[in-house]
Amino acid sequence: MDFSFSTITHNLPYLLAAARWTLIISFAGMLVGLGLGILVCAARLSRHRWLSSFAALYVSFFRGVPLLVQLLAFFYILPYAGIDLPATVAAFLSIGMCSAAYNAEILRGSLQAIPAGQKEAADALGIAPFALWRRILVPQALRIGLPSHVNELILLVKVSSLASVVGIGELTRVAQNITGQTYRPLEIYLAAACVYFVINAILAYAGRMAERRLNVGGA
Amino acid sequence: MELDLFVRYGPALLHGFGITILCWIAGSLGGMALGFLIACIYQWSGRWIRGLLQAYIEIVRGTPFMIQLFILYYGGPHFGLLLSPVEAGIAGFVVYGSPYFAEIFRAGFASTPKGQFEAARCMGFSEWTIVRRIVLPQMLVSITAPLTNFVIILTKETAILSVVTVPELLYETQTMAAETFTYVEPFLVLSLFYWAMVEFTSWLGRRVELRVTRHLRRA
């Protein structure tokens, strides 16, 4: 067995350039997932029974189907429905839709930690439901749920590797391409694994810093 | 809808489903065994080995499953590890699942009061007897929920095996779709199928949980 470090050093710039797309897809996916997640969570807690059962169905479906199947289905159904989107956009939309289900559940848990008195006080002060959510509930819930949301983001970085299957040139895909040229799968995939690991380690560290800053869980 | 497709490709799909189940069960059991081993070694070893195990856990949890599969399947031959796709899939599951299972078992060990270990040692129980007769029965109560939870997650991860040409359900569906140029129906049906499978396993998980905690409710 011969381990070729020069293959790694030679191709590392390409891997790092591709890691940018990994970051773009996972962060955009997280943004979509958070935004949509807040809506799904609000619907889930709604008094209208149709709305809340639709949200429950949404969460159950998107958490129950493998993301790879969701991605493939999304990519096949979009053109069928006559919608033409750039592949990257379709990828992070699909990842975001799945992530929304998880984020909605995290939010639902965080909302329970907010004292009910705040909602009553807001009602007594005549604050509209939308303002109640935007100015009072969501900011607090995001803070309380920060560790779980960071976890979700780290998951999305790993999950973005699935986008390689639908042909998006992110880290995994580029690693596959380089392997096709160099016939050195071990070196290249180990290097790609290191890049993923470093990204996730940085995110986990940043998450811990943010937790300390926002004093999550502390008094 | 071209539903006769599913009749024509029935045997292939059924075979794919069998492979999915095989990889899932073998991978879950293997991952659980390796995770338990890691947790045991962690429990009874010094700082250095603990550090090594911690590094293993962090690295496997910080990299995508797909990259791990590529390293095993495409990189394996570099160090003399020649695996068939199904073998690589199962081995991948064992590696991927082991750190998550190890963390669950470790939390289980940590939840057993130290005094019980000390008392058992005073009474001359061997370490293995302590684990089997004292720790395991108690921790089964607290770890069943996270264990089944992760086993359910693994059900969904089986779809990723299709990328290294394991002839499982998604792979067979993709073959069918490519051969018949129909994409929308197969992937919609496949999504529903996975959804049903995950809902079924989580129902099963709740049943198992009720079974192992039944003595707690019998007051």
| Residue-wise pLDDT tens digits, A40-97 | 999 998 889 999 999 999 999 999 999 999 999 888 888 888 888 888 898 999 999 9
**pLDDT confidence of residue B219:** 59
Contacts of B158 in chain A (CB under 8 A): 66
Domain that holds residue A201: 8-214
The mean pLDDT value of chain A amounts to: 90
What does the pLDDT average to over A127-135? 89
Q: CA A183, A189, A191 angle in degrees (round to 5)?
A: 115
Interface of A with B in 51-80 (CB under 8 A): 60-61, 63-70, 72-73, 76-77, 80
Q: Give the per-residue pLDDT at B4.
A: 80
Cα A219 to Cα A119, A144, A214: the distances in Å are 21, 12, 11
Q: Is the pLDDT of residue A217 over 70?
A: no
B152-209 confidence digits (pLDDT tens): 889 899 999 998 889 988 998 888 888 888 888 888 888 988 999 899 988 988 888 8
Query: Can you tell me the distance from the alpha carbon of A151 to that of A102, in angstroms, rounded to the nearest whole number?
Result: 11
Which residue is closest to B154 within chain A, CA to CA?
A: A66
Sign, CA torsion B104/B107/B112/B115: positive
With a pLDDT cut of 90, the percent of chain A lying above it is: 54
Q: What DSSP string describes B26-70?
A: HHHHHHHHHHHHHHHHHHTS-HHHHHHHHHHHHHHHTS-HHHHHH
| Structural tokens at position B20 | 């999915």
Backbone angles phi, psi at A117, to 5 degrees: -60, -30
Mean pLDDT score across all residues of chain B? 88
Contact call for A76 and B79, based on CB within 8 A: no
**ipTM score of the complex?**
0.86
List the CATH number of the domain containing A132: 1.10.3720.10
CATH topology of domain B4-155+165-217: MetI-like fold (1.10.3720)
- Which is nearest to A119 in space by CA: A104, A134, A138, A132? A132
Any domain includes A2: no
Q: What average pLDDT does the segment B61-84 reach? A: 90
B35 pLDDT exceeds 90? yes
- With left for phi above 0 and alpha for psi between -120 and 50, is residue A183 left, alpha or beta? left
Q: Which of A69, A158, A190 sits opposite B187 (nearest CB)?
A: A69
Nearest of A1, A2, A13, A3 to residue A178 by alpha carbon: A13
More confident residue, A108 or B5: A108
Distances in Å between the Cα of A123 and the Cα atoms of A45, A110, A120, A128, A129 are 17, 20, 5, 8, 8
SS3 A131: helix
Q: What pLDDT score does B2 carry?
A: 64
User: Is there a contact between B71 and A76 if contact means CB atoms under 8 Å apart?
Assistant: no
**Interface check A202 vs B, CB under 8 A:** no
Q: Which residues of B fall below an 8 Å CB-CB distance to A?
A: 58-59, 62-68, 70-71, 74-75, 78-80, 156-160, 162-163, 170, 174, 177, 183-184, 187-188, 190-191, 194-195, 198-199
Residue B194, min C-alpha distance to chain A (Å): 5
Cα gap A72→B81, rounded to integer Å: 31
Name the DSSP letter for residue B130.
Answer: I
Q: What chain B residue is nearest to A204 in terms of C-alpha separation?
A: B62
| Gap from A138 CA to chain B (nearest CA, Å) | 28
* CB-CB under 8 Å, A197 with B198: no
- Residue B47 carries which side chain, given as an amino acid letter? R
**B75-132 pLDDT, tens digit each:** 888 888 888 999 999 999 999 999 999 999 988 888 888 888 889 989 999 888 888 8
Hey, CA dihedral for B155, A153, A57, B206, is it positive or negative? positive
pLDDT exceeds cutoff 80 at B215: no
Distance CA A79, CA A162 (A): 20
Residue B102 has which token pair? 């190890």
| A219: confidence class by pLDDT, cuts 50, 70, 90 | very low
Q: Would you say residue A83 lies in a domain?
A: yes
Query: Which residue did the predictor score with more confidence, A219 or A59?
Result: A59
- Provide the chain A residues 75-114 that lie in CB contact (below 8 A) with chain B: 76-77, 80
CA dist., res. A172 & res. A18, Å (int): 8
| Ranges of each domain in chain B | 4-155+165-217
pLDDT value at position A41? 93
Are B36 and B104 contacting, i.e. CB atoms less than 8 angstroms apart?
Answer: no
Q: Do B63 and A193 touch (CB under 8 A)?
A: yes
CB contact under 8 A, B74 and A70: no
| Alpha-carbon gap, residue A97 to A74, rounded angstroms | 10
